[in-house]
A and B are shown apart, each in its own frame.
Chain A
Amino acid sequence: EAGVAQSPRYKIIEKRQSVAFWCNPISGHATLYWYQQILGQGPKLLIQFQNNGVVDDSQLPKDRFSAERLKGVDSTLKIQPAKLEDSAVYLCASSFHRLAGNKAVEQFFGPGTRLTVL
């Protein structure tokens, strides 16, 4: 079974530029998450999708971050404009729909995109 795919793996940009990250979840997983992991910290949830709808975006800095999952499969996360403090690894994860019971407990993580903002 293929895992969660993310691209690019690395990105270096200057502050005030824009950047976009792509995620392809595991086939059949209705729930998709984007996390931000700053160096030395644990991942912090940015946004959660159930199919193509947003379940929770309370931690997403909406003045500069946006995310979409138009067809309920792939997702993109965009930052516009980027700030120095956005330097982090952006992790995508997917899981079964929460109504699937114990099957929904495990989130499967992609390798992440490491963003450096200069």
Chain B
Amino acid sequence: GEDVEQSLFLSVREGDSSVINCTYTDSSSTYLYWYKQEPGAGLQLLTYIFSNMDMKQDQRLTVLLNKKDKHLSLRIADTQTGDSAIYFCAESGNDYKLSFGAGTTVTVRA
């Protein structure tokens, strides 16, 4: 939705790091999420971060949150062909109702 914005496309070489950026407008957001959608499949939660944190790392994934600028990023280390998908940034309050961005299509090239 218009409350969450992200760039539409990202092309990355296999083995490089990918960085997907997102901005949101709701200062009362409690949780920030990254979901992955592969062709023909539903969305899958990759990771989320609580709004009082500024970083979360989970294997190849690193989430950075700048609450002052309302900026969220997802870094994927050592990007693989299986990482090709659409990545959605989302936010919610304590009610867990999600507001999604339009999605970033990540293409991994050999």
Which residues of chain A have a CB within 8 Å of any CB of chain B? Answer: 4, 31, 40-45, 48, 56, 91, 93, 95, 98, 104-112
Contact = CB atoms under 8 A, between A and B. Distances in A.
B103 A105 contact: no
Indicate the size class of the contact surface on chain B: 20 to 34
A43 B4 CA distance: 12
B95 A43 contact: no
A91 B98 contact: no
A96 B96 CA distance: 11
B43 interface: yes
A64 B31 CA distance: 32
Nearest to B40: A111
A98 B102 contact: no
A112 B41 CA distance: 7
B100 A109 contact: no
B24 interface: no
A108 B44 CA distance: 7
